[in-house]
Amino acid sequence: MITLQGVSKRYERLNAVSEIDWCVSQGEWWGVIGPNGSGKSTLLQLLSGVETPSAGQITLQGREISSYSRKEMARIVAVLQQDGLAPTDFTVREVLEMGRYPFQDWLGREKRDTAPLLDRIIHKLELENLESRRLDQLSGGQRQRAALGKVMAQEPDLLLLDEPTTYLDIRYQLQFMNMVAEWREETGITVISVLHDLNLAAQFCDRLLVLKDGNIAGEGVPSKLLTEDFIRQVFRVDPAVVMHPENGAPQVLLTACHRSASG
């Protein structure tokens, strides 16, 4: 699906990522984790074609990524940022229609009737009561669902998620991740998601890529990678790791360090 060979990105004197070798196969769900400033968002920008490598090569479906036009890329790759959609006066239905842009001609026309596709997405994401409402009338969780609907309408082969649950409460976090999981199960889409929540990453991702200081610190399945020693080494915290009672995924527990007030 997508392969990186010796990929580095440098900004003046800063090496954001250094000599990354990585291969993602069709249908996998990878989680990219690591401390702040470790190069996670830079890596996603390189994968989306927004940034070009300072060194190395990125190949997407057998072609050098720089050889794709913007519309060609948009037919293959969709990106969903952590802030999703701004609260504009577009309706939910209009936002979903924007997802079809890569397939339209210069007059905004498409050979295919996509109304049934949009109707299915609206039903799947439970947006029926919201499709005529403007984004500025929606909650953050509702807007993020609409943002997911837009990228679903795009029908990509690869979905890039940049901290998609950051501004959501725990109910909407779980709902969002479950919706992505169901979409992947139905279509075989490949997913790469930058995540801060290690517990969500462990439950939903097949494999994890761990970055630290722009380098790969580890990669593998969550059950092998998320150990107390490894988390302590990468994140500089003292965790306890337990197994989830229902699915066996490693879950990270942290202890607050209380200091008693003097005086």
By the 8 A CB rule, do 193 and 161 touch?
Answer: yes
Looking at residue 263, its pLDDT comes to: 45
Instruction: Report if residue 95 sits inside a domain.
Output: yes
Range of the domain at 227: 2-253
Higher-confidence residue of 185 and 104: namely 185
- Which domain CATH number covers 192? 3.40.50.300
Rounded-to-10 torsion of CA 136, 139, 143, 145: -150
pTM: 0.91
Instruction: Report if residue 119 sits inside a domain.
Output: yes
Instruction: Report if residue 258 sits inside a domain.
Output: no
pLDDT digits (tens, 9 = 90+) for 192-240: 999 999 999 999 999 999 999 999 999 999 999 999 999 999 999 999 9
pLDDT digits (tens, 9 = 90+) for 126-136: 899 999 999 99
Instruction: Report if residue 15 sits inside a domain.
Output: yes
Looking at residue 258, its pLDDT comes to: 61
At residue 237, the 3 state secondary structure works out as coil
User: What's the domain count of the chain?
Assistant: 1
